[in-house]
Amino acid sequence: MKLLTHNMLTSHVKGVTKGYPLLIKATEVKMNEVEFNPQFVSRMIPKLEWSALVQAADELGQRQDLPGELVPDYEKNEDFLKKVHRLLLEVEVIEGCLQCPESGREFPISRGIPNMLLSEDEA
Amino acid sequence: GESSGTIEEKKVLKRQIKASHTLLKHEGISTTSQPTKSLVVANGGLGNGVSREELSAVLKEMGELETLIMHPHKPYAFVTSHCPHVHLNGEKLQCGGNSVTLYLSFVDSVTCEEEASVPLPEGLVLVEDFVSPEEEAQLLAAIDWSSANDDITAQKALKHRRVKHYGFEFRYDNNNVDKDKPLPAGIPQECLPALELCVRNKHINIMPDQLTVNQYESGQGIPPHVDTHSAFEDTIMSLSLGAQTVMEFRHPDGRLVPVVLPGRSLLVMKGESRYLWTHGITPRKFDTVPACDPQSPALTPPDVRTHSNLTLSKRGTRTSLTFRKIRHEPCRCAFPSACDSQGAPSTSPPSPPSLPRCHDDAAQLEEEYVHRVYDAIASHFSSTRHSPWPQVCHFLSSLPPGSVLADVGCGNGKYLGVSTEVIAVGCDRSSALIQICAERGFQAFVSDALSVPLRSATCDACISIAVIHHFSTQERRLAAVRELVRLLKPGGRALIYVWAFEQEYNKQRSKYLKEQNKEHPENHSPINKASEDSHRPVDNIQDVSKVTDGKLSVHTNRTSFNTQDLLVPWHLKEGKRQGEEESGEGSESSPVPVFHRYYHVFQQGELELLCGQVAGVKVQSSYHDQGNWCVILEKDSIEMN
């Protein structure tokens, strides 16, 4: 699971209203090399929930010097875009789980795949 | 020096040497030039189509023989004699009308895979020649298969063998008997003499009151089963009339005991053989059975449970009369693990599912006939789903760069990599298929389409290709569409593809139908013509479901759809195992597993009507594509309440 995907995922346990973002508990993280496309990253940023990305980066100890808020004119800031690219696309959680911040329910991540299936009574 | 023989003799010797090398190399059989009492007959085996009778006939010319051993599937046989037949070594014989050349060599010992004779299951007794040929004819004549007797006996045409019940009807939906509803006709009078003999011979104490007659044609059988404990008393007797067959008994620990049931024999099952072992008849046209040579009794082996002296027996029509006594008290046998009176689960055969009427039933149906199937067939399925459909690609390519795309029911990720401009994420109910997505480097997670763990209004576009037709109620299909719409941002678009009831559109047969020669085509259903004119949703969709009793029928691939709700077979193709021998018709090749997937195929206009029930979204376009009905939905730009 890449952090781009994590940014989109939410807890859908019945009755939960504050299920986003999911907490990440990683036991195995992998770094990939992905071709840097500044235009693509630029376009991704407006689609993101920035604070959730920062929180995720913190949880994984990958925050480095990522700003707590979006910098203005980021489209031309290659340095910044590279940091975002790395976090969103190159960091991958292989093993661990995602935890609903409200209910505590854990969704396992195995071989890079989050299993978000709910049981009968949770749906 | 002396000439060592004619050219012909030299040739034979060369082939002889080659044959013996082959035997040694592949079968571990070492030949010797020293005269011994044992000979190996290369090329004279059941494994290369030589029957015992043929081989016996040829070898008899050579002299007195003691035993003839033919292992199943092996291309050779062993012959032993009381004294060495020196002249047989190096002999070349023609067999089977000169079509097979046999090479004989001395061997030091007969390599015998002969196992110790496997005993019959405890409680099993086989009595041969229980009835005379005349009695057999009378009994067969007493069974009237004509449907004129429908009101008297319960005659059903089961998918395979023919079945008829007397006394009480045995129900195959729950593998039990309606004890309160005796049939008008009891056991026929013609059976009484045989039953009285059973009592006299102490096979039974009480006369049975239920009879089930099964008629098996060659190639038909009955799956392994234990007769329901709570339905019948201990002793069950089966009289075999007509052709012989092989019945297989299986113990829970894996032991398999094949038992030949000759015509006119009585099989008595009691105790462990009745309560614990399953019995069944594999659907086949040939059985491997012990050979019986009336002229040389010494050459006839005990039975098929040892591996020697086997031959192939072609099946004919066999009629079995199974006599049972209805049980009225709970079963108190010593085998609780198989006993439904003592808590073991009733072994009902997988009955065809019915159309569900509530969410729970629907979820259960989908679990068995969608989710479990996809997990089982994932890699084979994925290998057949490699070409993205052009129209879907067109939709994806039309999305602005940087669009967030959710592929709900993404399967093997076929569409996740089509557009490099979009931010794509997929989800599917099948972990096995999502695993394939991950292997391909796509971002995907496991979830249900009815509850997608993405926040509302976060997707610029959604696709759901060949997914919604797997939901077994209209409510669930509607809920699936609602979920897609929830994910969309205002102005966002969704593309939905579902299988069409009408496979031929505008006189064009779908690709599915066109692929007539494909092995095990798992394609769409039959042709029901749709007209291009009525592009608007049809006002009243005809109810084409002719499902009897609400039961789902299994669709025959490449034929017309008769109903909208059906099970579609998938024949699983696995890689052929290495070195698997082909032994002709007599072999028991492992059957191709068949899975059934549930589908609700949509009629023209039905998908549009369904989407029309969702607030805040409009059908932008709808079309027919390769046997599918398709819609593009657009979410209202301003959220309406």
Give yes or no for a contact between B68 and B94, defined as CB atoms under 8 angstroms apart.
Answer: no
Of B405, B486, B425, B415, nearest in space to A4 by CA:
B425
Looking at chain A, which residue has its C-alpha nearest residue B435?
A: A113
The shortest C-alpha distance from B455 to chain A (Å) reads: 6
Residue B111, amino acid: T
Task: Classify the complex by whether its ipTM is higher than 0.95, answering yes or no.
Answer: yes
Taking the Cβ of residue B434 and every Cβ of chain A, the question of whether any pair is shorter than 8 Å is answered with yes
- Let me know whether B463 and B609 are in one domain: yes
Nearest-angstrom CA–CA distance, A64 and A87: 10
Inter-chain contact A10–B455, Cβ cutoff 8 Å? yes
Given pLDDT bands bounded at 50, 70 and 90, which one contains residue B99? low
Q: Is B34 a domain residue?
A: yes
Among B46, B77, B107, the domain-final residue is B107
Nearest-angstrom CA–CA distance, B537 and B127: 69
**Looking at B1-10, B116-125, B170-179, B262-271, which range is the least confident one?**
B1-10
Residue B477 backbone phi and psi in degrees, to 5: -65, -40
DSSP string across A72-93:
TTGGG-HHHHHHHHIIIIIEEE
Helix axes B372-384, B431-439, angle to 10 degrees: 30
Which of B363, B425, B446 is opposite residue A8, by nearest beta carbon? B425
First to last CA, chain A: 23
- Let me know whether B129 and B79 are in one domain: no
Inter-chain contact B438–A123, Cβ cutoff 8 Å? no
The per-residue pLDDT for B178 is: 86
Residue B491 has pLDDT above 70, yes or no: yes
- Let me know whether B312 and B365 are in one domain: no
How many residue pairs from chains A and B have C-beta atoms closer than 8 A? 68
Give yes or no for a contact between B324 and B226, defined as CB atoms under 8 angstroms apart.
Answer: no
Q: Is B174 a domain residue?
A: yes
Give yes or no for a contact between B50 and B91, defined as CB atoms under 8 angstroms apart.
Answer: no
Of B431, B464, B436, B439, nearest in space to B449 by CA:
B464
- Let me know whether B72 and B167 are in one domain: no
**Looking at A35-44, A92-101, B318-327, B498-507, which range is the least confident one?**
B498-507
Inter-chain contact A2–B443, Cβ cutoff 8 Å? yes
Residues of A in contact with B402 (CB under 8 A): 40, 43-44, 46-47
- Let me know whether B128 and B208 are in one domain: yes
Report how far apart, in Å, the C-alpha atoms of B625 and of each of A9, B240, B477 are: 32, 56, 20
Given pLDDT bands bounded at 50, 70 and 90, which one contains residue B439? very high
Per-residue exposure over B98-126, b if at least 16 CB sit within 10 Å of its own CB, e if not: eebbbbbbbbeebbeeeeeeeebbebbeb
Among A40, A113, A121, A122, pick the best mutation site for testing chain B contact (most B Cβ within 10 A): A113
Q: Report helix, strand or coil for B617.
A: strand
- Let me know whether B274 and B376 are in one domain: no
Give yes or no for a contact between B573 and B592, defined as CB atoms under 8 angstroms apart.
Answer: yes
Beta strands B278-281 and B265-269 are unpaired
Tokens 């292992």 locate to: B71
The whole-number average pLDDT for the span B106-123 is: 69
Which of A12, A44, A46 is opposite residue B451, by nearest beta carbon? A12
Give yes or no for a contact between B446 and A115, defined as CB atoms under 8 angstroms apart.
Answer: yes
Residue B146 backbone phi and psi in degrees, to 5: -70, 145
Among B447, B462, B482, pick the best mutation site for testing chain A contact (most A Cβ within 10 A): B447
Residue B33 has pLDDT above 50, yes or no: yes
Name all contacts of B440-445 with Cβ < 8 Å and 24+ positions apart: B440/B412, B440/B413, B440/B416, B441/B417, B442/B410, B442/B413, B442/B416, B442/B417, B443/A1, B443/A2, B443/A4, B443/A5, B443/B416, B444/A113, B444/B410, B444/B413, B444/B416, B445/A1, B445/A5, B445/A9, B445/A113, B445/A114, B445/A115, B445/A116
Residue B306 has pLDDT above 60, yes or no: no
The per-residue pLDDT for B528 is: 35
Given pLDDT bands bounded at 50, 70 and 90, which one contains residue B41? confident
Give yes or no for a contact between A37 and A97, defined as CB atoms under 8 angstroms apart.
Answer: no
Q: Is B597 a domain residue?
A: no
The whole-number average pLDDT for the span B588-613 is: 84
Residues of A in contact with B455 (CB under 8 A): 8, 10, 20
Nearest-angstrom CA–CA distance, B292 and A63: 83
The per-residue pLDDT for B633 is: 97
**Looking at B90-104, B422-436, B464-478, which range is the least confident one?**
B90-104
The per-residue pLDDT for A77 is: 93
The per-residue pLDDT for B292 is: 54
Nearest-angstrom CA–CA distance, B509 and B526: 9
Residue B146, amino acid: S
Cis status of the peptide bond prior to A21, with omega within 30 of 0: yes
- What tokens were used for B524? 């769409």
- Let me know whether B327 and B424 are in one domain: no
Given pLDDT bands bounded at 50, 70 and 90, which one contains residue B504? confident
Nearest-angstrom CA–CA distance, A93 and A28: 6
The shortest C-alpha distance from B354 to chain A (Å) reads: 21
Taking the Cβ of residue B444 and every Cβ of chain A, the question of whether any pair is shorter than 8 Å is answered with yes
The shortest C-alpha distance from B448 to chain A (Å) reads: 6
Position with higher pLDDT, B387 vs B545: B387
The shortest C-alpha distance from B471 to chain A (Å) reads: 16
Residue B349 backbone phi and psi in degrees, to 5: -70, 155
Taking the Cβ of residue B447 and every Cβ of chain A, the question of whether any pair is shorter than 8 Å is answered with yes
**Which residues sit opposite A17 in a β-bridge?**
none
Residue B53 has pLDDT above 90, yes or no: no
Nearest-angstrom CA–CA distance, B390 and B393: 5
Among B67, B82, B107, the domain-final residue is B107
The per-residue pLDDT for B43 is: 82
The per-residue pLDDT for B556 is: 75
Tokens 């040739």 locate to: B11
Looking at chain B, which residue has its C-alpha nearest residue A38?
A: B402
Tokens 């085998």 locate to: B335
Chain A interface residues facing chain B, Cβ-Cβ under 8 Å?
1-2, 4-5, 8-12, 20, 39-40, 43-44, 46-47, 111-118, 120, 123
- Let me know whether B261 and B373 are in one domain: no
Residues of B in contact with A4 (CB under 8 A): 423, 443
The per-residue pLDDT for B108 is: 75
Of B470, B475, B498, B524, nearest in space to B604 by CA:
B498
Residue B473 has pLDDT above 70, yes or no: yes
- Let me know whether B224 and B81 are in one domain: no
Q: What angle do CA B568, B573, B579 make, to 5 degrees?
A: 155
The shortest C-alpha distance from B389 to chain A (Å) reads: 25
Position with higher pLDDT, B201 vs B78: B201
- Let me know whether B390 and B470 are in one domain: yes
Helix axes B474-487, B359-366, angle to 10 degrees: 80
The per-residue pLDDT for B40 is: 85
Inter-chain contact A11–B455, Cβ cutoff 8 Å? no
Rama region for B224: left / alpha / beta (φ>0; ψ in -120 to 50; rest): beta
**Looking at B62-76, B183-197, B282-296, which range is the least confident one?**
B282-296
Nearest-angstrom CA–CA distance, B9 and B14: 9
The pLDDT tens digits for B330-350 are: 999 999 989 999 888 766 555
Given pLDDT bands bounded at 50, 70 and 90, which one contains residue B127? very high
Q: Is B473 a domain residue?
A: yes
The per-residue pLDDT for B510 is: 64
The pLDDT tens digits for B523-580 are: 333 333 333 333 333 333 344 443 445 677 778 777 777 788 888 888 876 543 223 3
Q: Is the dihedral of CA B631, B632, B638, B639 positive or negative?
A: positive
Inter-chain contact B445–A113, Cβ cutoff 8 Å? yes
Taking the Cβ of residue B50 and every Cβ of chain A, the question of whether any pair is shorter than 8 Å is answered with no
Inter-chain contact A118–B448, Cβ cutoff 8 Å? yes
Beta strands B617-625 and B594-600 are unpaired
Inter-chain contact B401–A116, Cβ cutoff 8 Å? no
Q: Is B530 a domain residue?
A: no
- What tokens were used for B396? 């994806």
Inter-chain contact A10–B453, Cβ cutoff 8 Å? yes
The shortest C-alpha distance from B453 to chain A (Å) reads: 5
Which of B421, B435, B447 is opposite residue A116, by nearest beta carbon? B447
Inter-chain contact B447–A117, Cβ cutoff 8 Å? yes
**Residue B427: which CATH number?**
3.40.50.150
All residues at 6 or more sequence positions from B465 whose CB lies less than 8 Å from its CB, including other chains: B389, B392, B407, B409, B411, B415, B495, B496, B497
Inter-chain contact B446–A8, Cβ cutoff 8 Å? no
- What tokens were used for B122? 């405890």
Per-residue exposure over A105-122, b if at least 16 CB sit within 10 Å of its own CB, e if not: bebebbebbbebbbeeeb
Nearest-angstrom CA–CA distance, B272 and B121: 7
Nearest-angstrom CA–CA distance, B399 and A42: 17
pTM beyond 0.90: no
The per-residue pLDDT for B253 is: 82
Which of B423, B445, B447 is opposite residue A44, by nearest beta carbon? B423
The domains found in chain A, sorted by start residue, are: 3-114 (2.20.25.10)
Report how far apart, in Å, the C-alpha atoms of A23 and of each of A97, A99, B425 are: 8, 5, 19
Q: Is B479 a domain residue?
A: yes
Give yes or no for a contact between B452 and B487, defined as CB atoms under 8 angstroms apart.
Answer: yes
Q: What angle do CA A51, A56, A61 make, to 5 degrees?
A: 125
Inter-chain contact B425–A123, Cβ cutoff 8 Å? no
Edge-to-edge order in the sheet of strand B154-157? B124-127, B265-269, B236-242, B318-324, B210-216, B162-166, B154-157
The whole-number average pLDDT for the span B604-631 is: 95
**Residue B64: which CATH number?**
3.30.70.330
DSSP code, position B26: I
DSSP code, position A70: P
**Which residues sit opposite B311 in a β-bridge?**
B289
Which of A5, A39, A118 is opposite residue B425, by nearest beta carbon? A5
Nearest-angstrom CA–CA distance, B396 and B405: 9
Given pLDDT bands bounded at 50, 70 and 90, which one contains residue B481? very high
Residue B7 burial (10 A CB sphere; 0-12, 13-18, 19+): exposed
Nearest-angstrom CA–CA distance, A32 and B397: 27
The per-residue pLDDT for B358 is: 85
Inter-chain contact B452–A12, Cβ cutoff 8 Å? yes
The whole-number average pLDDT for the span B204-225 is: 90
Q: Is B20 a domain residue?
A: yes
All residues at 6 or more sequence positions from B556 whose CB lies less than 8 Å from its CB, including other chains: none
The shortest C-alpha distance from A70 to chain B (Å) reads: 18
- Let me know whether B134 and B280 are in one domain: yes
The shortest C-alpha distance from A119 to chain B (Å) reads: 10
**Residue B235: which CATH number?**
2.60.120.1520
Residues in chain A: 123
Nearest-angstrom CA–CA distance, B587 and A22: 57
The per-residue pLDDT for B202 is: 93
The per-residue pLDDT for B152 is: 41
Q: What is the mean pLDDT of chain B?
A: 80
The per-residue pLDDT for A122 is: 81
The whole-number average pLDDT for the span B281-296 is: 67
The boundaries of the domain holding residue B451 are 359-501+604-635
Given pLDDT bands bounded at 50, 70 and 90, which one contains residue B640? low
Q: Is B533 a domain residue?
A: no
The total domain count for chain B is 3
Residue B69, amino acid: I
Inter-chain contact A118–B401, Cβ cutoff 8 Å? no
Tens of pLDDT, residue by residue, chain A (123 residues): 999 999 999 999 999 999 999 999 999 999 999 999 999 999 999 999 999 999 999 999 999 999 999 988 999 999 999 999 999 999 999 999 999 999 999 999 999 999 999 987 787
Nearest-angstrom CA–CA distance, A24 and A115: 13
Among B80, B107, B134, the domain-final residue is B107
- Let me know whether B374 and B324 are in one domain: no
